[in-house]
Structures are given as structure tokens and as C-alpha cells.
């Protein structure tokens, strides 16, 4: 079963500010989350119950997903040095 992917307004704005090729790679990685919400390379965030991090090269996608949920919410995306601030 494929999950629904929802982007927050801030995540959309962050993605549009990225270079074209990076944005394309991130969009492909996020689309793949619909089939597997915990792919290799993703990690659970320690400070949130339902927060996850997906690594795409030097960039990170932070998203929320809870076991059994039917929706993934992309919270933010950006370069690894800036995304956690």
C-alpha cells in the first residue's frame, strides 16, 4: 500500500530554493518514501517521537511518520549544515 506524501509550506519553499539537480534527487527520494517509509539510510530522530531523517547526499529531508499511519509529512529539506537549526 502506498502512503500519501504531504509537504508543509516551509518544506516546499526550502525545496524550491535548492539547485535543480539536488531538488530532483530529493523529490525522487521522497516519492520512494510512499512505498517504503524507512528506506536504508534513514534514521529516527532522537528528539521527536515520529521524526525521521532521510539522507540524500549532503542534503537531508526531515519528515514525520508513525508506524501504521497512512501519511508522511515532509517538514523541511536542505543542506545538512543548515537543516537542523
Total domains in the chain come to: 1
In a domain, residue 85? The reply is no
In a domain, residue 70? The reply is yes
In a domain, residue 44? The reply is yes
In a domain, residue 17? The reply is yes
Q: Model's pTM, two decimal places? A: 0.92
Domain that holds residue 19: 4-79
pLDDT tens-digit readout, 38-62: 999 899 999 889 999 999 999 999 9
In a domain, residue 13? The reply is yes
Q: Is 49 exposed, middle or buried (0-12, 13-18, 19+ CB in 10 A)?
A: exposed
Length, in residues, of the chain: 85
In a domain, residue 84? The reply is no
Q: According to the model, what pLDDT value does residue 13 have? A: 97
Q: In what order do the strands lie in the sheet with 42-44?
A: 4-7, 71-79, 59-64, 51-56, 42-44
In a domain, residue 64? The reply is yes
CATH number at residue 68: 3.30.2310.20
In a domain, residue 61? The reply is yes
CA-nearest of 16, 28, 21, 59 to 8 is 16
Amino acid at each position: 500500500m502506498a502512503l500519501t506524501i504531504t509537504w508543509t509550506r516551509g518544506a516546499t519553499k526550502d525545496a524550491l530554493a535548492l539547485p535543480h539537480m539536488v531538488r530532483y534527487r530529493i523529490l525522487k527520494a521522497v516519492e520512494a518514501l510512499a512505498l517504503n517509509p524507512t528506506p536504508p539510510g534513514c534514521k529516527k530522530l532522537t528528539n521527536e517521537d515520529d521524526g525521521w531523517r532521510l539522507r540524500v547526499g549532503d542534503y537531508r529531508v526531515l519528515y514525520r511518520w508513525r508506524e501504521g499511519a497512512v501519511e508522511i509529512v515532509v517538514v523541511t529539506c536542505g543542506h545538512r549544515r543548515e537543516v537542523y537549526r
